[in-house]
Amino acid sequence: MTNQVSNRAVRPLTAAAFVLMALTAPGLARQAAAQMSMPQPPPQIVVGGRGEVQVAPDRAQVQVGMETQAKTAALASQENNRKQTAILAAIRALGVPAAQIQTLNYSVMPIQRYDEKAQRIVIDGYRVSNIVQVETDKIEQAGPIIDAALTNGGNRVAGLEFLVKDRAKAQETALTKAVESARRQADIAAKAAGGQVVELLELNINEFERAQPQAMMAMAKMNVADAAVPTPVSEGMTTIAVTVSTRWRFAK
């Protein structure tokens, strides 16, 4: 009796399986045929290229300023303002227009420490920092600007960067070199693979790379003799570079 019940239970499931196979088989066949009929993408070569041009900079950007400390924020700020006023006057005396002097950062921060005995944070004073950015089209003024700041109470040189005002022509030359480099690599790879490059399929131009500013440690003139020695500054050459990524069709 038990065997008969079991056989009857199996038959409907077996029949349903046959129906499911019959329904899905045409769909699977159509999918396989569609995959076979889809055109395969042509063989491709993907390479990147980089081009760079060295240009003499024609603008300097100097970041100088003053950092002071005092028991109260007001005292630290007053001392900072007095010295910063002297610094700005000395820089303008070099012939730098006021429009080319910009406050880059001004901050007032508490000087904190953890008191183990009291088990709490204690404020010992305040630190005031005032950094200005000076731009000049006269590269030779970079050193005198730094000296003017340091000899008039400044104790911070936050950065020095040499720039190129008109970068368009140099960027175009760098881009041309980058694409030529990518094409040259694609041709070499294609020849090694026994074929040749037929056409360009894709070209992506990445952002032009900017030269990083030259960081300078904070410094101070120690005595009058040191103040008489000008700060040596060498602008060198600025590198303008661009990278590209390319995709080429390959054929034998």
pTM of the model: 0.64
Determine if residue 194 is left, alpha or beta; phi over 0 gives left, psi from -120 to 50 gives alpha, anything else beta: left
pLDDT digits (tens, 9 = 90+) for 97-140: 999 999 999 999 999 999 888 889 999 999 999 999 999 999 99
CB neighbourhood size of 109 (10 A): 12
Mean pLDDT, to the nearest integer, of 240-247?
Answer: 95
Residue 94 pLDDT > 50: yes
Task: Tell me which residue has tokens 């183990």.
Answer: 116
Cα atoms in the Cβ-side hemisphere of radius 13 Å centred on 165: 8
Q: What topology is assigned to 42-58+164-219+234-252 in CATH?
A: Translation Initiation Factor IF3 (3.30.110)
Which pLDDT score is estimated for 207?
74
CATH architecture designation of domain 62-161:
2-Layer Sandwich (3.30)
Q: Please tell me the predicted confidence (pLDDT) of residue 210.
A: 60
The Cα–Cα gap between 205 and 54 comes to: 19
129 forms beta bridges with: 67, 107
Distance CA 151, CA 63 (A): 15
8 has a pLDDT exceeding 90: no
Share of the chain above pLDDT 70, in %: 76
Domain ranges of the chain: 42-58+164-219+234-252, 62-161
Cα separation, 211 vs 235, in Å, equals 12
What DSSP state is assigned to residue 214? B
With 50 as the cut, is the pLDDT of residue 45 above it?
yes
User: How do residues 168-213 score in pLDDT, each as one tens digit?
Assistant: 999 999 999 999 999 999 999 999 999 999 999 999 998 776 654 4
For residue 235, the tally of other CB atoms under 10 A from its CB is: 18
Q: What is the pLDDT of residue 133?
A: 97
pLDDT of residue 165: 86
Confidence of residue 26 (pLDDT cuts 50, 70, 90): low
Distance CA 220, CA 154 (A): 7
Res 28: pLDDT:
61
